[in-house]
């Protein structure tokens, strides 16, 4: 009996000592729903079994691990699994693995790694802080899994700790995934149907278009034979939770453009919302004479440290300088550098390019010839314009084209214009008179935000108005909408406190903008929801529904409001859950209520 007790105590002591020596939070198969186990022997850690590696199976900062083998049957590598294992130099991953967690190999001493082609999900910074890492083989198509909220980072490798010599993609490439990897060279799969690698840079399959430049490059020499320089090849980037650059081309100093290049654009192969890059290019050698004016403009406006003088001096046959204006031989106005109060653009100019008059605060008036068909975004942003007559053949009103022109008092949109793009007249705080053209179809977000008009007519030809198109127009008092509201956002006139909307179409088109103000908690698990809406002319009342479910199927409460009301406070049996509110106006026609469209919000 005593012998048996001694054996039992000895076994218990052994188990205790083993558990104390085991990696922090590691687990055995007996505590997992999978059959995955591990074995550490002479510096080699072997993960074997079938199924996912348990989330708690982690070996963080384990100094004994020098090699890791993930055996066939294991389908995942848990997040932070080998994080900080600074002596880990070799990794072998089975083809059965489909998922690799975030920070899984971060801070290790690996020099190379092959991630099997079957891996579908890779966590952020899975290979972060690997100072010795030089070669990575990885799928071209995978889903990046990021951490939530403030810990989010759209990258797999770091761009500030060493640089990987080569990233080799072992499957068809999804171009957005390139931005997650900092490297000096990229190699795509030979049978990739869309792309090829030339000296470590990614081009289209035929080599005619440059698509991605490795972020660790300091100099780019575009291959002779390439005809299309896509600026997104260097402007691409990923970001962290604060919007800072991660793995962007932040080392690039010089670009050489060969004689074969005919076009430059900044939209194709775009994977971020960024256009004007912090890429620190200090010199661009332009060896081509085939660029049109728009291409030259894109080049200048895509790189912050490259100015018009730098490019014009290299292209004297294509760019002339007269009356403080740089104009190309194909009649594109690139830049005005004068300080006149009255500016006259030469007749024959067809296009006014991006930022051509940007921040020309001295300019009060501009004469635009009828030959102009295109005015690019931000062309007159932050100018001192008080008046402008748009040419009759203008195709569109571009994005932010008159943004911040605080002295502009009136604008007439020509009949030729079909679209007013976002932020076109944003913050034109003196803009009181707006006349829409007969063929205008769309007004996009924030197009007239913060303007000073008091009365406005939306004609039938305007079929679509985006959210916040007229937001924060505090002087607005009256809007008449003549046509259908099917594609007019209920929030088009949000935060216009004095506004009354009149509809000329059927009451079925009526809609108002709802704005939730506040929530006050009261006794017994109840709370008061206070909200308001934009006043409508000619309605008989409003129907309002509240619910804890955005589909309005749970805890629904229905109330009404009089036609003269602009706000309401409702008590609900809900103290902590999100409260969804929607409202629709109605009009009594032949003793029947005809309801308009719902608009909604949540608090």
- How do residues 57-85 score in pLDDT, each as one tens digit? 999 999 999 999 999 999 999 999 999 99
Residue 535 covered by a domain: yes
Residues of the chain with pLDDT under 50: 1-32
Confirm whether 564 is domain-assigned. Answer: yes
Tokens representing 415 are: 């009949």
Return the SS3 of 455. strand
Q: What is the pLDDT of residue 65?
A: 97
* DSSP-derived pairing of the beta strands 67-70 and 90-93: parallel
Domain count of the fold of the chain: 1
Quote the CA–CA distance of 301 and 179 in Å, as a whole number.
22
Count helices and strands (H / E) in the chain.
4, 47
What phi, psi does 268 have (nearest 5°)? Answer: -70, 145
**Quick check: is 562 in a domain?**
yes
pLDDT tens for each residue of 118-154:
999 999 999 999 999 999 999 999 999 999 988 999 9
Q: Is residue 533 part of a domain?
A: yes
**CB-side neighbour CA atoms (13 Å) of 601:** 20
Would you state the structure tokens that stand for residue 386, as one six-digit string?
A: 């008080």
Question: How many angstroms from the chain centroid is the CA of residue 410?
Answer: 33
- Number of Cβ within 10 Å of residue 355's Cβ equals 22
Q: How far apart are CA 572 and CA 520, in angstroms?
A: 10
Strands 332-336 and 283-286: unpaired
Looking at the domain assignment, is residue 286 inside a domain?
no
CB 172 within 8 A of CB 192: yes
**Where residue 543 sits, what CATH number does that domain have?**
2.60.40.10
Q: List the domain range (segments joined by +) for residue 547.
A: 514-602
Q: How far apart are CA 195 and CA 523, in angstroms?
A: 64
Residue 461: burial class (beta carbons within 10 Å; 0-12, 13-18, 19+): middle
Domain membership flag for residue 191:
no
Residue 587 lies in a domain: yes
Give the pair of three-digit tokens for residue 434: 């707006």
* CA-based nearest residue to 360, from 339, 335, 387: 339
Q: Kindly state whether residue 580 falls inside one of the protein's structural domains.
A: yes
Q: Which residues contact 309 (CB under 8 A, 6 or more apart)?
A: none
């Amino acid at each position: 009996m005593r012998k048996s007790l001694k054996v039992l105590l000895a076994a218990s002591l052994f188990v205790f000592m083993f558990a104390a020596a085991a990696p922090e939070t590691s687990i055995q198969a007996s505590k997992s729903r999978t059959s995955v186990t591990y074995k550490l022997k002479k510096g080699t850690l072997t993960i074997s079994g079938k199924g996912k590696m348990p989330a708690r199976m982690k070996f963080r900062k384990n100094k004994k691990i020098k090699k890791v083998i993930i055996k066939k049957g294991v389908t995942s590598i848990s997040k932070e699994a080998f994080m900080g294992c600074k002596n880990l130099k070799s990794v072998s991953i089975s083809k059965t693995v489909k998922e690799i967690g975030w920070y899984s190999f971060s801070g290790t001493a690996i020099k190379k790694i092959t991630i099997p082609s079957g891996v579908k999900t890779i966590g952020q910074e899975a290979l972060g802080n690997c100072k010795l890492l030089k070669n990575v083989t990885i799928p071209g198509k995978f889903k990046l899994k990021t951490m939530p909220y403030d810990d989010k980072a759209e990258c797999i490798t770091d761009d500030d700790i060493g640089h990987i010599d080569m990233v080799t993609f072992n499957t068809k490439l999804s171009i957005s995934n390139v931005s997650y990897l900092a490297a000096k060279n990229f190699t795509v799969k030979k049978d990739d149907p869309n792309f090829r690698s030339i000296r470590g840079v990614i081009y289209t399959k035929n080599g005619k278009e440059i698509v991605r430049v490795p972020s660790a490059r300091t100099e780019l020499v575009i291959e002779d034979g390439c005809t299309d320089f896509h600026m997104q090849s260097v402007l691409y980037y990923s970001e962290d939770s604060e919007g800072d650059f991660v793995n962007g081309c932040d080392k690039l100093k010089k670009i050489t453009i060969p004689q074969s290049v005919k076009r430059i654009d900044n939209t194709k192969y775009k994977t971020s919302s960024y256009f004007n890059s912090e890429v620190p290019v200090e010199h661009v050698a332009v060896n081509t004479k085939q660029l049109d004016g728009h291409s030259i403009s894109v080049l200048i406006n895509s790189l912050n440290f490259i100015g018009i003088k730098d490019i014009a001096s290299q292209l004297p046959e294509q760019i002339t300088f007269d009356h403080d204006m740089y104009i190309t031989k194909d009649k594109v106005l690139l830049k005005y550098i004068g300080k006149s109060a009255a500016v006259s653009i030469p007749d024959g100019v067809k296009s006014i390019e991006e930022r051509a008059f940007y921040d020309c605060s001295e300019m009060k008036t501009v004469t635009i010839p009828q030959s102009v068909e295109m005015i690019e975004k931000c062309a007159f942003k932050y100018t001192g314009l008080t008046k402008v007559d748009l040419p009759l053949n203008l195709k569109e009103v571009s994005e932010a084209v008159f943004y911040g022109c605080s002295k502009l008092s009136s604008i007439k949109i020509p009949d030729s214009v079909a679209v007013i793009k976002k932020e076109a007249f944003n913050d034109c705080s003196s803009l009181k008179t707006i006349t829409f053209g007969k063929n205008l179809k769309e007004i996009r977000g924030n197009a007239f935000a913060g303007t000073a008009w008091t009365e406005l007519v939306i004609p039938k030809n305007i079929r679509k108005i985006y959210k916040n198109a007229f937001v924060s127009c505090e002087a607005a008092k009256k809007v008449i909408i003549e046509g259908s509201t099917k594609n007019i956002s209920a929030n088009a006139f949000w935060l216009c406190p004095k506004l009354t909307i009149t509809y000329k179409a059927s009451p079925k088109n009526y809609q108002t903008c709802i704005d939730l103000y506040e929530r006050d908690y009261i006794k017994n698990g109840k709370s008061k929801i206070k909200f308001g809406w934009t006043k409508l002319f000619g309605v008989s009342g409003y129907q309002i529904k509240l619910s804890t479910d955005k589909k309005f199927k749970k805890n629904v409460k229905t109330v009404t409001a009089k036609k003269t009301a602009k706000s309401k406070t409702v008590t609900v049996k809900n103290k902590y859950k999100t409260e969804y509110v929607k409202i629709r106006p109605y009009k009594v026609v032949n003793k029947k209520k005809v309801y308009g469209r719902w608009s909604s919000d949540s608090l």
